A and B are shown apart, each in its own frame.
Chain A
Amino acid sequence: MPLLSDKTYLYTELAQEKGVVLPTPKTEAWKYTRLRDLLNTEYQLCPSTDKTGSLPPFEADVIHIGNGWVVGELPRIEGVSLSFITETMEKTQHPFALMNAAYLTQGLKIEISGKLKRPLLLNYFVVPEDKNYFYHFRNQIICHENSSAEIIEQFTYEGAVKSCYFANIVNEIRIEANAKLHHYKYQNEAFKANHIALHKVAISQSGEYESFCLQKGANIARNETEIALNGEGAEAVVNAAYMMNGWATLDTTTNIYHYVPHTKSSQLIKGVIGGTAHGVFQGRIHIAPNAIQTTGTQLHKAILLSDEAEIDVKPELEIFADDVKCSHGAASGELDKEQLFYMRSRGIGEEEAKQILINAYLTDTITQISDERVREWFKILITG
C-alpha cells in the first residue's frame, strides 16, 4: 500500500497493515518506556524539503537529510561508495526496525574501503510545519577490511517546535577485520517529537567500534545499540550522555554480545534528569560459553534534579564463560549539597553552581572520543 502524502495515519494502524506487533506496556524490552504519545498520534508521510540544518564547527563531508530525504546529489568522497538501498541487510524482530523496513522513506548504503580523512556527517533535519510528519531512514554502513572512518549523525529541526513528528532510524553496521568506525550522534529533536533509533553492529576480528551519543531533545526517545563481537580482538566502546527536562522519556538501551574469546566492550552512560522526565537505561552484556578472556564493563549514572524526575535501570549480565572480566554498576542521586554550598559560599549563584556540577558530571563521558574537534563540539553542546 503506497502511503498518500496528504492523508494522516495512526501509527498503530500502519503496523497492523503490515502485521507488525508494536510494544505494549507488557512487552519486556519496552516496559519502562511509555510509548503512548508516540503510538496514538496520527502522522503524515514527510514530504521532501530543500532546507538543511546548520553544520557543526569542523570540516566534514556532509549528506543533508531533510525530512527523511537526501537533499541534492550524493557527494563524491574518496574511499567511500554511496548509493541508495533497495533492501535491508538483516532480519530483525525489533518492532520499530520492522516498521522502518516496511515504510522506508529512503536509505543509504555507505561502503567504506579507505582511510577517510574527514568525518562523514549525516545531517538530519526536520521542518515540521505544524504537521505530525513521520519518516523512516536507514543506513547500511559497511566498513571493509583495514578501513577507518568517522561518521557523525546530527538530528535537529526548524520551526514548529510543537509538532509531534517521529523519526525512526536504523543503522546496520558491519565492521570487517581490522576496520575502525568511530560513530558519534547528537540528538536534539523538537521537544514534542519522537525519536527511535537502532544501531545494529557486527564486528569482525580486531575490528573497532567507538561510539558516543548525546541526547538532549524529543519527548519520547530511545537510542538502542546492539553489538555482536564476532571476531577475536574486536572492541566496542558505547558511551552516552543525556540531559532531559519537562515530561520527556529518554531511553538508552544496549545489548552487547561477546560471541568469541578476547573481545572487549565498555560502556559509560550518564544522564541528568529534571522536571517530571523519565530516564531509562537497559544494558545487557552477554558472554557466550566459549568467549573466554573477554572484558565487558558497564557503568550507568544519573542525577535527578527534581523530586518528580524518575530513572529506571535494568542491567543484565549473562555470563556463560569462565575467565572473563565483567562488571556493571549503577548509581543515581541528587546534586551534592555540600558541593553546592561550597560553590555558593564563594559567591557563585545557585543556578550557575548547578550547571558547573552538571557539566563536570557529564564531561567524562566524552573523554574517550578520539577526534579532538568532535570532543570539543560535544563539550560545548553539553555546557551550552
Chain B
Amino acid sequence: MSAPILEIEDLCAEVGGKQIIKDFNLTINEGEVHAIMGPNGAGKSTLSYVLCGKSGYKVTSGSVRFKGKDLLSMSTEERAREGIFLIMQYPVEIPGVPSTTFLKHAVNAVRQHQGLPELDTMEFLKMVREEGRKLGIDNEMLKRPINVGFSGGEKKRMEALEMTILKPSFAILDEADSGLDIDAMKVVADSVNALRDNKRAMLIITHFQRLLNYVEPDYVHIFANGHIVKTGDKHLAVELEQNGYAEYVKEN
C-alpha cells in the first residue's frame, strides 16, 4: 500500500466572509489520480486556492498534511517548492515578463530549494523549446510576455508546459481542459500522463468526462455543499454526464 501524499481532514474555509468549504475530507495516496466534479460555484476552485495558500482564502478549521508536513503553515512559494502545482482555471497575464524568463525564475527557485545548482541558460532554453514544441507552443510564443494576449487554449497549454518543466509531485488541474480544442486536449492529456508515476499524484477538477477518457482517474468524487457527497470510480463520471447533479445538490 502506498503512502498518503495529501491528507485533508475536516477542512472548513471561507472566502469573502462566506463559508465555501465545509467539513471536507479527502486522502490521496502516491500514484493516485482523483477527479472532482461538481456544479458551478460549488467551491472547487476555492479548494485549489486553499491548497495553494492564496491570501483571502481563510481556513477556519481542519488540517491538511502534505507528505506528512503541515501544509497550512507554509507560504504559497514553499508549497510550490515542496511539489504542489496548480493549473489555474484562469491563468494570470504578466505584462513585461517573457514566458521563458518567468519559467527560468520558477525552475531555479524550485531547484535551489532542492539543493540543485541553477540550470545553464542554454540547456534550459533547449529543454523549454522541446517541451513547448510537444505542447504546440512555438519559440515566438515563448518570447512573449507570459499569458498576455494568449487565447484561452494557449494559456492552458502554457500551464501544462509549466507543469511539465516543474515536475510537481502533486498537481491540481482546475479545468485544465476548458478552452482546449479536441487535439489540444489530447496533447495536454499526454503531458499529464507523461508526469504520472507511482510517486506522483493528481487532482483533476473538470466538468466533462472527456479529459477523464485520456487521463483515467482512480477515483471520481462529487463535490457539493462544501464537501464530497459521493465517491465512485470512472463510471461515476459517465453517470453524471447523463443525469447531472440534481440528485446530489438537494442533500441538505
Contact = CB atoms under 8 A, between A and B. Distances in A.
B94 interface: yes
B77 interface: yes
A350 B75 contact: yes
A376 B92 CA distance: 28
Interface in B91-126: 91-92, 94-97, 101-102, 105-106, 109-110, 113
Given A341-B54, A341-B55, A352-B105, A346 B96 contact: no
B33 interface: no
A343 interface: yes
Contacts of B64: none
Contacts of B76: 341, 344-345
Contacts of B162: 346
| Residue in A339, A345, A357 whose Cβ sees the most chain B Cβ within 10 Å | A345
Contact of B113 (A338, A342, A347): A347
B107 to A, nearest CB: 8
Contacts of A363: 96
B80 A345 contact: yes
Given A352-B105, A352-B109, A345 B96 contact: no
Contacts, number: 72
Given A345-B52, A356-B105, A361 B96 contact: yes
Interface in A336-382: 337-339, 341-350, 352-353, 356-357, 359-361, 363-364
Interface residues of B, number: 28
Contact of B95 (A337, A343, A353, A360): A360
B86 interface: yes
A347 B166 contact: yes
Given A346-B166, A347-B109, A356 B97 contact: yes
A112 to B, nearest CB: 35
Nearest to A355: B105
B80 A360 contact: no
A197 to B, nearest CB: 28
Interface in B40-80: 52, 54-55, 75-77, 79-80
Nearest to A360: B96
Contacts of B54: 341, 345
Nearest to B90: A338
Contacts of B106: 343, 346-348
Nearest to A341: B54
A353 B209 CA distance: 37
B57 to A, nearest CB: 10
Interface string B200-218: 0000000000000000000
A364 B148 CA distance: 15
Nearest to B105: A348
Given A337-B55, A338-B92, A341-B76, A347 B110 contact: yes
Interface in A109-154: none
Interface in A292-345: 337-339, 341-345
A222 to B, nearest CB: 28
Contacts of A348: 77, 105-106, 109
B11 to A, nearest CB: 19
A346 B80 contact: yes
B91 A342 contact: yes
A343 B108 CA distance: 13
B80 A344 contact: yes
B102 A343 contact: yes
B34 interface: no
A306 to B, nearest CB: 17
Contacts of B113: 347
A221 B174 CA distance: 49
B166 A360 contact: no
A343 B110 CA distance: 12
B137 to A, nearest CB: 16
Given A341-B55, A342-B92, A345-B85, 16 more contacts: A342-B91, A344-B80, A345-B54, A345-B77, A345-B80, A345-B88, A346-B85, A346-B102, A346-B109, A346-B166, A348-B77, A349-B109, A352-B105, A356-B102, A360-B94, A360-B95
Interface of B: 52, 54-55, 75-77, 79-81, 85-86, 88, 91-92, 94-97, 101-102, 105-106, 109-110, 113, 145, 162, 166
Interface of A: 337-339, 341-350, 352-353, 356-357, 359-361, 363-364
Which are the 7 A-B pairs with shortest beta-carbon distances? Answer: A360-B96, A347-B80, A342-B92, A346-B106, A344-B76, A347-B109, A347-B110
16 contacts: A339-B94, A341-B54, A341-B55, A343-B94, A343-B106, A344-B80, A345-B76, A345-B85, A345-B86, A346-B166, A347-B80, A347-B81, A347-B109, A348-B77, A348-B105, A359-B96
